[in-house]
Structure 1
Amino acid sequence: MTDITYVQGDITEQHVDAVVNAANSSLLGGGGVDGAIHRAGGPEILDACRELRASRFRDGLPAGQAVATTAGRLPARWVIHTVGPVWSAAEDRSALLASCYRESLRVADELGAATVAFPAVSTGVYRWPVEDGARIAVETVRSTDTAVREARFVLFNAPAYAAFTAQQP
């Protein structure tokens, strides 16, 4: 069974096997968590992402999928990049958001990662309401069959931390 833990802090400082990046489909860096991971991890991450774009993901990484690269200078071994959906009031994209967490855990299992740090995927610039994003994230991780021992949600601010810790049974 996976232990779920919650931390308010900086995901780039987590000493875990894998850090999940809330990436954009280009995989070439951006703002928020994505930019922070690329800045802290250094050029090795961008180089690995460029290789993925030149081979497996010529059109970018589709929303709901995940892929791993080196973690560069981060205190983790790998970065698992996942692309969350942009929130929409007109269309339910919850299954895509849940897929981000499931696919990240699948990749973690392939890597042999026992500890994984997750951000609140899609709740920043992609405008997903944080309470709903927290519910989907925690329910998905709880219900996914994985060998990951610890799934750590690393929340950047107090409102996100409160929304995620409210999901505890």
Structure 2
Amino acid sequence: MTYITLVRGDITEQAVDAVVNAANSSLLGGGGVDGAIHRRGGPEILAACRDLRAGHYGRGLAAGRAVATTAGRLPARWVIHTVGPVFSPDEDRSATLASCYRESLRVADELGARTVAFPAISTGVYRWPMADAARIAVRAVTEAAEETGSAVTEARFVLFDAAALEAFEAALAG
């Protein structure tokens, strides 16, 4: 059974089996969570991402998909990279956002990960409203874990500030 936990903190400091990275499609680092994971994890993560780009992911990673690499110097074993959608008030992209969580959980299961730390995907520069993102994230992880019989025992949402934590608390209670 997968338990959802919520913490306010820095995702790069989480001692878990796998950390989920809100990556950009290039897989080569960026800002926000992606930049923090690459900086703290060191050059091993970038080298693994370059190898992915040289192989099956030559055009990058599509939104809603997930792939794993080493975690380098992070206190985790793996980084699961997923690309969230950019929020659009004119087009419903919530299925793609949900897919980020489902696919990350699927990859975690393939790796044998039991504890996974998630950020609030797409809520930074991709401008997804926090309350809606929280609702989608909690539902997607809960449903995916139940549907697949996931062996992940803890899905930990690591939230950067009090407002994000409150949004996820409301989604989990709702």
Deviation at 1:147, TM superposition (A): 1.2
Gaps of 5+ in 2: none
- Structure number with higher helix proportion: 2
Deviation at 1:31, TM superposition (A): 0.2
Deviation at 1:61, TM superposition (A): 0.2
Separation (CA, whole Å) in 2 of partners of 1:140 and 1:89 = 21
Instruction: Give the aligned length.
Output: 169
Separation (CA, whole Å) in 1 of partners of 2:90 and 2:111 = 37
Separation (CA, whole Å) in 2 of partners of 1:162 and 1:150 = 19
Q: RMSD across aligned C-alpha pairs, in angstroms?
A: 0.5
Kindly report structure 1 stretches of 4+ aligned residues shifted beyond 2 Å: none
User: Do the aligned residues in 1 keep the contact of 2:131 with 2:171 (CA within 8 Å)?
Assistant: no
Deviation at 1:168, TM superposition (A): 2.2
Matching of residues 5-20 of structure 1 within 5 Å: 5-20=5-20
Gaps of 5+ in 1: none
Identity %: 77
TM-score, normalising length: structure 1: 0.99
Separation (CA, whole Å) in 1 of partners of 2:163 and 2:76 = 26
Separation (CA, whole Å) in 1 of partners of 2:136 and 2:152 = 18
Partner residue in 2 for 1:45: 45
Deviation at 1:141, TM superposition (A): 0.5
Deviation digits for residues 85-144 of structure 1 (CA, Å, limit 9, x no counterpart): 000001000000000000000000000000000000000000000000000000011111
Partner SS for 2:171:
coil
Deviation at 1:167, TM superposition (A): 1.6
Separation (CA, whole Å) in 1 of partners of 2:42 and 2:156 = 23
